[in-house]
Chain A
Amino acid sequence: MSVEERVIEIVCEQMDVPKDQVTRDTHFTNDLHADSLDTVELVLEFEEEFDITIPDDESEKIQTVGQAIDYIEQHSHAKSDKDDAVA
């Protein structure tokens, strides 16, 4: 499963919304009515699922599904392992 599919699955599960209502453009607060605790919980779920740590100042910038996918793709272990191998 791609990062995008996994992120959308987590968002649907956490926010109780069907998959057809979630795209890359979906905004957690404006579209899914996530409150401040929901958004923190979403970030924790991403960290758990992708085995990464998202610093607070970075997590505050993740407001849409697309931003989450991009951040995870840039920082996930699979990626950094590959970078290490290349280096």
Chain B
Amino acid sequence: MNQSRRVVITGMGVVTSLGDQLDQFWSGLCAGRSGVGPLTLFDVSEFKVRFGGQVNDWDAAARFGGKEARHLDRFAQFAMAAAISAVEDSGVDFSRFRPDRCGVFIGSGIGGLNEFETQHTTMMQKGPSRISPFTIPKLMVNAASGQVSIKFGLQGPCSAVATACASAANAMGDAYKMIQTGWADLMITGGSEAAITHMGLGGFASMRALSTRNDDPPRASRPFDRDRDGFVLAEGAGVLVFELEDQARARGARIYAEVIGYGMSADGWHITAPDEEGRGAARAMVRCLEDARTAPDAVQYINAHGTSTPLGDLAETRAMKQVFQGHARKLQISSTKSQLGHLLGASGGVELIASALAIHRGVLPPTINLDNPGEGCDLDYIPLTAREAQVDHVMSNSFGFGGHNASLLIRRYK
């Protein structure tokens, strides 16, 4: 492994229920605000779950023009908006880069579900000849990566990872490796999701995976709390610019943090339930630390997967105890999903952004709604209020249906 090629984060962009500006997103997180509320994207009155973390006032035509907006599914619109923000934030001028040295890895759990449903309805009502020619290019899970590569004219590695709720984390881990091993010098990477649709909401609700706290949506996502009853479906995107450190330094870029480790594993256990002992999650964290050549006790903050499901939060806590042993009690941990809900394949992207900002701005966002820790959830989850702290090593965990586990480690850039 070529350890001399360091990888740094130079740009970040978000689309979330707490806003699409980085400062707005971060101040919302640190203030402990919830982006969860009643769903209004379509009529949800027949659904068992009627709330979530939706992106409000989304006007794609105003952002992209009518034609481009029509040719992007909502998930690709989010990815495109976050990618444009991240590139602007990085200050990169692609005309000064070799296009074949720049690439895009944007993950999504499901892809263009809105388009799939819309066209299916059209087909059932009007017949197969009325199916739009843009159906497939809009719904495919790689549409976000493909469209972003076209937008910026990037010609290097370009792919899409689909590992459910670990999609963004796997995409970013793979992107990090692309730069580290010399395939590319810059990668636009992260995740995007827009699965608050009839089928998305109904499907997750049918699994009994979602919180049913319809009477109090902002309090529904409560990772590690005694009264947690499932995750909260949310949508959005988190996209970052990963860059070769030499190049970033040479152009005087602002560097948020350095990416130093990536680990992945499979539970090999069950298609949706986590290994109850958290063995798969623990393997991902251990691999990540090994990849980073970093001792467990160097880690100060973990942005947990923490979805607010009864099994998941307990399994992750057990995994952290296995990996960090006595140091687990000193870890500061929080779940950004307590505020945003679960962005599925985009969650790892917004959470790595939160992790990088924690280092860069010296504040650890809280786990809101953690009023009474659940049984076995006995670590420091930064309950209710943000905490000022200088942290140098931060881990971000993402786990997905299918039994996918991914962990990333970043550190303060020096």
Verify A40–B67 contact, CB threshold 8 A: no
Verify B134–A41 contact, CB threshold 8 A: yes
| Bound Cα distance A40, B65 (Å) | 20
Beyond A14-B67, A16-B65, A16-B67, whether A37 also contacts B137 by CB under 8 A is: yes
B66 located at the interface, meaning its Cβ lies under 8 Å from any Cβ of chain A in the complex: yes
Chain A, 25-77, CB within 8 A of any chain B CB:
36-37, 40-41, 44, 47-48, 53
| Bound Cα distance A36, B132 (Å) | 12
Q: Mark B136-150, 1 if CB is under 8 A from A, else 0.
A: 010000000000000
List residues of chain A with CB within 8 A of the CB of B66: 13, 16
List residues of chain A with CB within 8 A of the CB of B65: 16
A15 located at the interface, meaning its Cβ lies under 8 Å from any Cβ of chain B in the complex: yes
**Size of chain B's interface in residues, with CB distance under 8 A?**
10
List residues of chain B with CB within 8 A of the CB of A13: 66
Beyond A13-B66, A15-B67, whether A40 also contacts B130 by CB under 8 A is: no
B95 located at the interface, meaning its Cβ lies under 8 Å from any Cβ of chain A in the complex: no
Neighbour of B132 across the interface among A15, A16, A44, A53, CB < 8 A: A44
| Bound Cα distance A41, B135 (Å) | 11
B326 located at the interface, meaning its Cβ lies under 8 Å from any Cβ of chain A in the complex: no
Beyond A13-B66, A16-B65, whether A41 also contacts B132 by CB under 8 A is: yes
B252 located at the interface, meaning its Cβ lies under 8 Å from any Cβ of chain A in the complex: no
Q: Closest chain B residue to A45 by CB distance?
A: B132
Q: Which secondary structure characterizes the binding site on chain A?
A: helix
A26 to nearest B CB, angstroms? Answer: 16
List residues of chain A with CB within 8 A of the CB of B132: 41, 44
| Bound Cα distance A53, B67 (Å) | 24
Neighbour of B130 across the interface among A15, A37, A47, CB < 8 A: A47
Q: Mark B394-413, 1 if CB is under 8 A from A, else 0.
A: 00000000000000000000
Verify A44–B67 contact, CB threshold 8 A: no
| Bound Cα distance A5, B248 (Å) | 54
List residues of chain A with CB within 8 A of the CB of B133: 36-37, 40-41, 44
B375 to nearest A CB, angstroms? Answer: 55
B45 located at the interface, meaning its Cβ lies under 8 Å from any Cβ of chain A in the complex: no
List residues of chain B with CB within 8 A of the CB of A47: 129-130
| Bound Cα distance A37, B129 (Å) | 14
B134 to nearest A CB, angstroms? Answer: 6
| Bound Cα distance A48, B68 (Å) | 21
Q: Which residue, B68, B130, B133, has most C-beta atoms of chain A within 10 A?
A: B133
Verify B134–A37 contact, CB threshold 8 A: yes
List residues of chain B with CB within 8 A of the CB of A16: 65-68
| Bound Cα distance A38, B77 (Å) | 19
B126 to nearest A CB, angstroms? Answer: 8
List residues of chain B with CB within 8 A of the CB of A41: 132-134
Q: Closest chain A residue to B127 by CB distance?
A: A53
| Bound Cα distance A12, B137 (Å) | 22
| Bound Cα distance A29, B243 (Å) | 39
Chain B, 44-74, CB within 8 A of any chain A CB:
65-68
Chain B residues at the A interface, C-beta cutoff of 8 Å: 65-68, 129-130, 132-134, 137
Give 3 nearest A-B pairs by CB, closest first: A40-B133, A16-B67, A37-B133
Given contacts A13-B66, A41-B134, 17 further A-B contacts (CB under 8 A): A14-B67, A16-B65, A16-B66, A16-B67, A16-B68, A36-B133, A37-B133, A37-B134, A37-B137, A41-B132, A41-B133, A44-B130, A44-B132, A44-B133, A47-B129, A48-B130, A53-B129
